[in-house]
Amino acid sequence: MTALPPTADAERAANDRPIDAESIARLLAAHDYRLTGPRRAVVAAVLAHARPFTAEQIVADLERSAPNIGRATVYRTLEILASLDVLKRVHLADGRAAYVVDAPGHRHHLVCSRCGDVVAFSACPVEQLVRDLSRDTDFAIEGHLLEVFGLCPVCRSAQSALTP
């Protein structure tokens, strides 16, 4: 295995750090977004989710804890967070769109078809395919998504326990 140059190691380590409210506040400020009370509440609700969540789940969470925050504020804040690479959009096994909190950087996801658990990975197995497609089709490819569906170890164990 070849060691990465120190700068690449540092960048990878920085990208693998868990994101928290303070780092999100700094990121918003760096991009000239104010961290208003409603945005702070949305950020807190987002960070409370360890698994993928939908915008409607955040709306429901906030209806209980901060009923004065409107649906439009939630959707706008989620879009801002996604544009800043704090949230990643994923598609669940049932086709629903959801978000996951993720460290900034290019990521792909393993999605459990049963429980919805998501594991991010940064290796990009389609880089060569993207280059080939760009060359062969003359597309200026701007990005791609890769989500791999299957059963996580916990769900596989549960399934094995039920199978005689």
Tokens of 1: 């295995």
CATH, domain range 6-162: 1.10.10.10
Percent of the chain with pLDDT over 70: 87
Q: What pLDDT, on a 0 to 100 scale, did the predictor assign at position 88? A: 87
Residues 63-74 have a mean pLDDT of: 93
Residues 145-163 have a mean pLDDT of: 85
Q: Are the C-beta atoms of 125 and 134 separated by less than 8 Å?
A: no
Centre a 10 Å sphere on the Cβ of residue 57 and count the other Cβ atoms it contains: 17
Residues 117-143 have a mean pLDDT of: 87
Q: Where are the domains of the chain?
A: 6-162
pLDDT band at 9 (very low <50, low <70, confident <90, very high): very low
Q: What pLDDT, on a 0 to 100 scale, did the predictor assign at position 21? A: 92
Q: Where are the beta strands (DSSP E) in 40-146?
A: 87-91, 97-101, 108-112, 118-121
Its pTM stands at 0.67
With a cut of 90, say whether residue 105 has pLDDT above it.
no
pLDDT band at 164 (very low <50, low <70, confident <90, very high): low
Q: What pLDDT, on a 0 to 100 scale, did the predictor assign at position 139? A: 92
Average pLDDT score over the chain:
83
Give the span between the Cα atoms of 125 and 131, in whole angstroms. 12
pLDDT band at 111 (very low <50, low <70, confident <90, very high): confident
With a cut of 50, say whether residue 25 has pLDDT above it.
yes
With a cut of 90, say whether residue 4 has pLDDT above it.
no
CA 96 to chain centre: 14
Go through the chain and tell me how many residues it has.
164
Q: Are the C-beta atoms of 35 and 25 separated by less than 8 Å?
A: yes
Residue 148, burial from CB neighbour count under 10 angstroms (0-12, 13-18, 19+): exposed
